[in-house]
Amino acid sequence: MNTVDVRRLTAWLDTTLQAPRFRDYAPNGLQVEGKPEIRHIITGVTASEALLRAAIERGADAVLVHHGWFWRNEDPRVLGPRRRRLALTLAHDLNLIGYHLPLDAHPTLGNNAQLARVLGLQPLRDVEGAPLTCGRDGLIWLGEAPEAATLGQFAEQISQRLQRQALWVGDAQAPVGRVAWCTGGAQSMMQEAVEAGATVYITGEASEPNAHLARETGVGFIAAGHHATERYGVQALGEAVAAEFGIKVEFIDIDNPI
């Protein structure tokens, strides 16, 4: 079975995802150093204790996730669940690798790109063929939903394809025009989508102001699940790693209702 040096792997990931260009909430790349050679990677959305244990059971050398550790403004002490996660990682010589915003934004492997694929969205593109975006770091994508006629139908279609009941606010009979989307916890960015001319905004989570903004602007709001909207980018990234280096990569979905 092929192996890859962890430094070579993370250098390729950094370059592929253009990690240095993002001012992120957490460090991107190698977060905990383990074995120097990697032959088997487990991918998942979040570096939870459950995912770590699943990786250990399968004899993996590394865990590659979207939600890693060491978030800004977090309590830095190594206590409770953090201690257990770190102890497991160190005891089994696991490499922990995480990419947050870079994995949201990537034009083909990213969460927004992959959510568009799953939902049948057609991204709008500029003259060079790049996705048309708005918001900080271009994290909100803009496009169309050719298979959906009304907001109500669109919300139901999203629920079916993600296998998770979406929360939505708006006129069920309103036509779906320009769609904006940003996976995960991007509910606070809805105003930027409104200003970009969206008639529907899709994200993962909802906050109290979203309902009022949707009602007062007429822009439909759909919260389809943080985890549910971010399952696909890390899978696509894992497939790209397997193709590039010829190593074993498995995705494990640790379900999360949020």
Residue 255: inside a domain, yes or no?
A: no
**201: domain range?**
106-229
Q: What is the pLDDT of residues 203-252, one digit of tens each?
A: 999 999 999 999 999 999 999 999 999 999 999 999 999 999 999 999 99
Q: Is 24 annotated as a binding residue?
A: no
Q: Which of 80, 29, 91 is nearest to 56 (CA)?
A: 91
Q: Is 57 annotated as a binding residue?
A: no
Q: Is 100 annotated as a binding residue?
A: no
Residue 168: inside a domain, yes or no?
A: yes
d(CA 25, CA 72): 5
Q: Which of 152, 147, 153, 150 is nearest to 117 (CA)?
A: 147
Q: What is the pLDDT of residues 45-59, one digit of tens each?
A: 999 999 999 999 999
Residue 192: inside a domain, yes or no?
A: yes
d(CA 56, CA 114): 28
Residue 60, domain CATH: 3.40.1390.30
Whether residues 111 and 206 share a domain: the answer is yes
Number of domains in the chain: 2
Residue 73: inside a domain, yes or no?
A: yes
Whether residues 92 and 110 share a domain: the answer is no
Q: Is 66 annotated as a binding residue?
A: yes
d(CA 208, CA 142): 24
Q: What is the pLDDT of residues 34-86, one digit of tens each?
A: 999 999 999 999 999 999 999 999 999 999 999 999 999 999 999 999 999 99
d(CA 92, CA 203): 36
Q: Which of 98, 10, 84 is nearest to 53 (CA)?
A: 84
Whether residues 29 and 117 share a domain: the answer is no
Whether residues 40 and 91 share a domain: the answer is yes
Whether residues 50 and 85 share a domain: the answer is yes
Strands 37-38 and 4-5, bridge-based pairing: antiparallel
Q: Is 104 annotated as a binding residue?
A: yes
Q: Which two tokens stand for residue 83?
A: 């201690």
Residue 30: inside a domain, yes or no?
A: yes
User: Are the C-beta atoms of residues 222 and 176 closer than 8 Å to each other?
Assistant: no
Predicted pLDDT of residue 1: 75
The model's pTM is 0.96
Whether residues 11 and 94 share a domain: the answer is yes
